[in-house]
Structure 1
Amino acid sequence: MPSERLSVVVTRRLPDAVERRMQELFDVTLREDDSPMSRSELTQAVQQADILVPTLTDRIDSTLIAQAGDRLKLIANYGAGVDHIDVQTARQHGILVSNTPGVAAEDTADMAMALILGVTRRIPEGLAIMQSGDWQGWSPTALLGGRVAGRRLGILGLGRIGQAVARRASAFGMQIHYHNRRRLRPEIEEELEATYWESLDQMVARMDVISINCPHTPSTFHLMNARRLKLMKPDAVIVNTSRGEVIDENALTRMLRAGEIAGAGLDVYENGTDVNPRLRELNNVVLLPHMGSATVEGRLEMGEKVILNIKTFDDGHRPPDQVVPAML
């Protein structure tokens, strides 16, 4: 007789092809609409499932994990970031955690570059004029932005995504600088023509553009706080395609309103969908609804990784993308 199929609960709607494949392989409970699960629904899911497939909108904290049933053995996250999952507590309860790393690097880097161009070349302001019907024709002094070629780009977190950003920015003629917890190998620095800064403060004070590409961890929360933001040059801009919590959003808003920072491009926000309303009023800010990894190709690859992690676990092996506390 065939072995009993794994019980899998998926917390959000996934691409149709991913959901169909999961239905073929597992006893899967899919989400009927695309709203996030409530706390009570998440509690029910962890109590009944062998495998939970959450996304970044689900808070899998120690309290929820403590309520998990004996069946739950794997949290197969749909996404690379796991700051919404208490990996340490899961491990203590014998629950493995996996993610989908590397899939979104190129897509997110595309968006980071789009934000850099959008802010420095004032693209949203141009769009607004065209959509309003108020364009009066070309003018030598209208919507003057800044040339990106020759500007210093400071990348905070030169991992997969940061390196992809560096390659794109270099093609635009930007000078690449970076700060990491650990300096990269010389051959990677040489390939990217990247200058390492041991002091984040010193790098921030000298850059024309700052790109946030580090994960959100306890050590990176408000890494760009009010004091560090004040080190930025008045004509500098900052873009964030990583996690909103890395920047003190209220401090950033105050400085943008005061003209102490020239502009910002944000795809992520400190409080999720609760975006500072004063931030939305500024014309030197480009705001996007967390679109960094939103490509058809990327979402399908993420689903494939989730399925591979579950299948490998079901076969009695360690999931290829297992996350352990030491990695965080």
Structure 2
Amino acid sequence: MSEHRILVTEPIPETVIDFLSTLGRVDVGVKGEFNNEDHLADVLPKYDALLCMLSTPVTEKVLTNASKLKIVANFAVGYNNIDVAAADHLKIKVANTPDVLTEACGDFALALLMATTRRFNEAEKYLREGHFKSWEPMGFLGMELREKTLGIVGMGRIGQAFAHRARAFGMKIAYHNRNRISPEIEHELGADFFDDLKELVSKSDVLSLNCPLTDETHHLIDEETLDLMQEHAILINISRGPVVDEAALAKALHSKKIAGAGLDVYEFEPKVHPDLLTAPNCTLLPHIASATHETREAIGMLAATAIKQVLQGVADKNITNLVTSKS
């Protein structure tokens, strides 16, 4: 039997590469090397398995050319970079990596919330530029969290992890979700359900986006929705960039329609809207919500496990985190 060949599009933890190496030959790309559809389509026909990033364009063209390919494992929970319907048609398995990001992302969401409400980036810039001469009674005033309402859009695993942490800081929890969570979890979180998104937006002191990117959630937060937010309110987004209309958000920030925003994802990532870059009341981070040693290794091992199962012929029902166009 010929040796399996596995393509990993970017450097990942060595422990994961070592694991994959027990299955066959592993080739690892450099950052951004396989973000081009044509290049990926040219290279992929040699491989039995692909471990890729959200930035990897696994299109119908790419998949159709990959005659040996058996599985695409995404180094992420989301998989909107993969044409899953085309993969289904070509009998190529697709897997993602849920669950293992939850705690790191919950921590990060709270950190981003605090950095934005307390204006850390503005204050640090002020100090680094040499402007700090003395304590100022009205300098960089922010918002306390206690008794404020955190409105969560998307109460899945990460949304719930964030809610647990925010509640420990005395915040009131409200949420909007496609399906209402169980009464037991609502009670545990002290969470109030809002069927009407607009009502949730208008009543939230902090609005956090934790929903997947779908046709329905694309530009869920647009100019009309932003107009419903309170002037002191903060927007947090660690979900997917296109959930927010960045041009509308930049306009709201510069006009002080809302007090601030904390973003870890972007509509045209890695590009960031230029007007967001000049908004002082905006905390901008480079998609690092899951960036802990523990979590990135766990993500990689989850993807690698799915690859191992497929290459070894494990039945579909037993493959880790298999997704289909019907998922």
Q: Take 2:49 and 2:274, find their aligned partners in 1: how far apart are those partners? A: 38
Q: Take 1:178 and 1:232, find their aligned partners in 2: how far apart are those partners? A: 15
**1:161-190 CA-partner distances (Å, limit 9, x unpaired):** 000100110011110011010001111111
Q: Take 2:50 and 2:270, find their aligned partners in 1: how far apart are those partners? A: 24
Q: Take 2:200 and 2:144, find their aligned partners in 1: how far apart are those partners? A: 20
User: Which ranges of structure 1 fall in alignment gaps of 5 or more residues?
Assistant: none
Aligned residue identity for 1:62: E
Alignment partner, residue 321 of structure 2: 321
Q: How many pairs were matched up? A: 323
- Structure 1-normalised TM-score? 0.95
* Deviation, structure 1 residue 20: 2.3
**Secondary structure, in 3 states, of the residue corresponding to 1:326?**
coil
Aligned residue identity for 1:269: Y
* Deviation, structure 1 residue 61: 1.8
Q: Take 2:182 and 2:169, find their aligned partners in 1: how far apart are those partners? A: 24
Q: Take 2:167 and 2:64, find their aligned partners in 1: how far apart are those partners? A: 47
Q: Take 2:286 and 2:33, find their aligned partners in 1: how far apart are those partners? A: 16
Alignment partner, residue 24 of structure 2: 26
Q: Take 2:187 and 2:305, find their aligned partners in 1: how far apart are those partners? A: 35
Give the superposed CA RMSD: 1.3
* Structure 1 position 149 matched with structure 2 position 146: yes
Alignment partner, residue 16 of structure 1: 14
Contact 2:37–2:59, Cα closer than 8 Å, also in 1: no
The 5 A counterparts of 1:163-174 are 163-174=160-171
Q: Take 1:29 and 1:307, find their aligned partners in 2: how far apart are those partners? A: 14
* Structure 1 position 140 matched with structure 2 position 131: no
After TM superposition, the structure 1 stretch with the greater mean CA deviation from structure 2, 19-28 or 120-129, is 19-28
Alignment partner, residue 123 of structure 2: 126
Alignment partner, residue 205 of structure 2: 208
Q: Take 1:165 and 1:237, find their aligned partners in 2: how far apart are those partners? A: 15
* Deviation, structure 1 residue 137: 1.7
* Structure 1 position 228 matched with structure 2 position 225: yes
Contact 1:9–1:52, Cα closer than 8 Å, also in 2: yes
* Deviation, structure 1 residue 107: 1.1
**Secondary structure, in 3 states, of the residue corresponding to 1:325?**
coil
User: Which ranges of structure 2 fall in alignment gaps of 5 or more residues?
Assistant: none
* Deviation, structure 1 residue 7: 1.6
Q: Take 1:177 and 1:46, find their aligned partners in 2: how far apart are those partners? A: 45
Contact 1:36–1:58, Cα closer than 8 Å, also in 2: no
Aligned residue identity for 1:187: E
Aligned residue identity for 1:219: E
Contact 1:78–1:303, Cα closer than 8 Å, also in 2: yes
* Deviation, structure 1 residue 274: 1.4
**1:5-48 CA-partner distances (Å, limit 9, x unpaired):** 322111111112222222233221122x2233133331133322
Aligned residue identity for 1:167: H
After TM superposition, the structure 1 stretch with the greater mean CA deviation from structure 2, 180-189 or 318-327, is 318-327
1:47 maps to which of 45, 57, 75: 45
1:282 maps to which of 279, 284, 297: 279
Alignment partner, residue 5 of structure 1: 3
Alignment partner, residue 156 of structure 2: 159
Aligned residue identity for 2:321: D
* Deviation, structure 1 residue 270: 0.1
Q: Take 2:20 and 2:309, find their aligned partners in 1: how far apart are those partners? A: 14
Alignment partner, residue 264 of structure 1: 261
**1:261-299 CA-partner distances (Å, limit 9, x unpaired):** 110000000000211111111111000011111111111
Contact 2:37–2:58, Cα closer than 8 Å, also in 1: no
* Structure 1 position 249 matched with structure 2 position 256: no
After TM superposition, the structure 1 stretch with the greater mean CA deviation from structure 2, 317-326 or 152-161, is 317-326
Q: Take 2:256 and 2:61, find their aligned partners in 1: how far apart are those partners? A: 43
**1:165-220 CA-partner distances (Å, limit 9, x unpaired):** 00110011110011010001111111111111101111111110000101111111
Overall identity of the aligned pairs, in %? 38
